[in-house]
Amino acid sequence: MNDRKPIELFVPGRLCLFGEHSDWAGMYRTVNSSIEKGRAIVCGTEQGIYARAERADRFIMCGEEEISEDEHWECEMDSARLLETAQQGGYFSYVAGVASYINDNYSVGGVKITLLRRDLPLKSGLSSSAAICVLVARAFNQLYHLRMNIKGEMQAAFRGEQRTPSRCGRLDQACAYGVKPVLMEFDGMEIDSHELRVGTTFHWVIANLMASKDTIRILGDLNKAFPFAENEAERRVQEAFGADNQAIVRRAEICLREGDPEGLGRLMDEAQRNFDRKVMPACEELKAPVLHSVLSDPAIRPWIWGAKGIGSQGDGSVQFLARSAGDAAALQAYLLNQRGMPSFTLTVKPGQTVRKAVIPLAGFGTRVFPATKCVRKCFMPLLDTDGILKPALMIMMERLLEAGIQDIALIIGEDEQPEFDRFFQPLPEAHREKLPPDKLKCEEKILELRRHVTYIYQSERRGFGHAVWLARRFSEGDPVLLLLGDFVYRSNTGVSCCRQVIDAYKECGRPLVSIAEIPLDQVVHYGILHGVWDENETMMKADVMVEKPTDDYAREYLGVENARGERKYYATFGQYVLTPEVFEELEKEIRSGKPAHGGEFGLTEALQKVCEQQGLIGFAPDGRSFDIGLPEAYRTTMWEYCK
């Protein structure tokens, strides 16, 4: 692994859609357990901080554009000196705070961070300070393989910012998730967070009210209601941030998941009314005349579903949920031209699902010859879990359709199509009449499968990567599920392995490789992933993928530590979700005419490049793969698959 290679980073700002103030309010549960848990929905913005990071002998922050009054700052990786800078305040205090926290808790060297671009407005209620803190934590994490997951990066960023005069909220570091809505819960000092699914596209407009507010006063006045309310006004503040907020956020989750922007807009209006009724009386700053003049502007209503304040509320910024992209543009023009308020948009889209699959099947099958002299490997019979003897390909395709796949590309040799046509064509009527009802259903299923098939011809054998590359036009820029033609899969749950992989992709939105644990002495036979597990140990943020490493190399570099402190090794499971970026890397390699290994183009090299550039996820389905490509393995599959 090239630890000196620079990495590109982007961290967005964050927008609190619902649940402002509930993060710090929920922390009071350590003193008063009757206080409700805090609950908030937070989303990263499309604006953020872009940077390049690389290892260095000291900590260096510089920029290709002016980032503050002083464009450059550096310091030895000495915790005392870093902490001194952090405590002084100012822009560089944030990066120094995180660097000091990392240095205190991990064995690291220095980092040079070059800020390339920043389109995130400062002091806008979008937590630009949290974004730079997360960026520094992520730079150390990725460059020094610290194995922090997203929550670990959030924790490092929070602890680092706590070393500065600033006192950020616990929801600010949700920007670590990227431009995705995230549900956060705050129970005392404990925080839980996970991404939310989105059922349709939502269009937000965030505007600067071009006024002013005193955030310190707002927080000071509202904190008087905690941990114990002493009068009716303080009880109403606790209700607003507690039970009321819990109910509103739960309904907002449903609106996001079910794709109901109108319902979500009504909730925004309701949340603002509740805030004004129960919280505003506790602080004069919250009367916010500019905010409320905008919220009540009748000219704006035709363009929006709803609107509310942002962050601590007050006359800082305002968020609108627009009815469409066109309405968002019209609203922005009105705000700027009629009110002098600049704005930007946030578009939250549903996770892209997978509707296409590819199965490479070209080749003679020499390892199971002479059986392949009379039957293609993919047509070798297996007893399915429904008790019916089927060709392996039929089992694969049935699982794909059950998982929601609509189009299936079979990559075959140009001379091999007659064998596939023979399988998919209707039986002669004389044979069909003899079939019992259950077998007649199988015949109808085969005819249905044919309607989903596209053939892709591989005229020359130039490696697995070349075969996959041939499907680039079939993909049409959509994500595709790639299955190996030598395996069938059986889930341990009621959800097929294919469906599990597709659902995982919808959640993460990145190229994905299914993986399974294997013993160290087997790594030489597989592509091996290394990375950092999430808290459930089902998704791994991969940092490297190595094809058939030696035992010694894997032992040194590729072991992944689980929650029990054990080092495990993870091989490709045989199902992948490939995005356009993977096909682009395959295209570059194949057009260069220089295969990486032995005259053949592989897939692993392209996946590794994508991993370095934008990230790759390893996902462990709850299931098992069964090999049909080797005689001994096929015997095991015949015996165990149907159990």
The pLDDT tens digits for 424-449 are: 899 899 888 888 888 888 888 889 89
- DSSP lists the bridge partners of residue 18 as 41
Q: Is the pLDDT of residue 202 over 70?
A: yes
Inform me whether the pLDDT recorded for 66 exceeds 70.
no
Tokens of residue 114, six digits: 């070059």
Tell me the pLDDT tens digit for each residue of 277-286. 999 999 999 9
Residue 621 clears pLDDT 80, i.e. is over it: yes
Indicate if the alpha-carbon torsion angle 405, 407, 413, 416 is positive or negative: positive
Preceding peptide of 370 cis, ω within 30°: yes
State how far the Cα of 100 lies from the Cα of 97, in Å rounded to an integer. 5
**Per-residue pLDDT, 69:** 47
pLDDT of residue 207: 94
pLDDT tens across 371-414, in order? 877 778 888 888 888 888 899 999 999 999 888 888 999 999 88
Nearest to 542 by CA among 513, 584, 578: 513
Residue 1: the pLDDT is: 46
pLDDT at 167: 63
Tokens of 40: 């908030």
Q: Which domains does the chain have, with CATH numbers?
A: 7-195 (3.30.230.10), 202-220+237-348 (3.30.70.890), 356-640 (3.90.550.10)
pLDDT band at 258 (very low <50, low <70, confident <90, very high): confident
Residue 227: asked if its preceding bond is cis (omega within 30°), the reply is yes
Helix extents (H) in 259-300: 261-278, 289-295
pLDDT grade, residue 497 (50/70/90)? very high
What pLDDT is stored for residue 514 in this prediction?
94
Q: Taking all residues of the chain, what is their mean pLDDT, rounded to a whole number?
A: 88
Overall pTM > 0.75 = no
Angle at 601 between CA 599 and CA 604, to 5 degrees: 130
User: How crowded is the C-beta side of 202, counted as CA atoms within 13 Å?
Assistant: 32
Q: What is the CB neighbour count within 10 angstroms for residue 535? A: 14
* Residue 510 confidence (pLDDT): 84
Q: Is the pLDDT of residue 67 over 50?
A: no
Q: What is the pLDDT of residue 126?
A: 61
Cα 487 to its chain centre, rounded Å, is 27
State how far the Cα of 511 lies from the Cα of 531, in Å rounded to an integer.
14
